[in-house]
Amino acid sequence: MNKTTWITFFALGLALCNLGWAQSSAPPPKKHLLVIGEEKGYRHEAVSHAMATIERIGKDTALWDTTLRTDTEVLTRKSWNTTPRI
């Protein structure tokens, strides 16, 4: 086997290895994250900060899309009003 044939096979092998590596390094599919931050009564300032942080980390890493909800009545179709009816 002459030197040119050996170099050709070596370059072909590197190209095939690179092709396999490129296919396996595809990013994972993006997740969808629902963050519920409903507060009843006392409003704690850390809830809104935590929700914003989770959303920002998802955008910065591109691993997930975030949906923020602060009212569960929209999600559950139930009113959480506990006022007794007279």
Q: Is 48 helix (H, G, I), strand (E, B) or coil?
A: helix
Confidence of residue 59 (pLDDT cuts 50, 70, 90): very high
pLDDT tens sequence across 17-40: 655 555 556 777 889 999 888 877
Q: CA-CA distances (angstroms) from residue 7 to 1, 28, 51, 68, 77?
A: 10, 36, 56, 57, 69
Confidence of residue 65 (pLDDT cuts 50, 70, 90): very high
Residue spans of the domains in the chain: they are 3-76
pTM of the model: 0.54
- Tokens matching residue 61: 């890493």
Considering the chain, what is the average pLDDT of its residues? Answer: 75
Radius of gyration of the chain (CA): 27
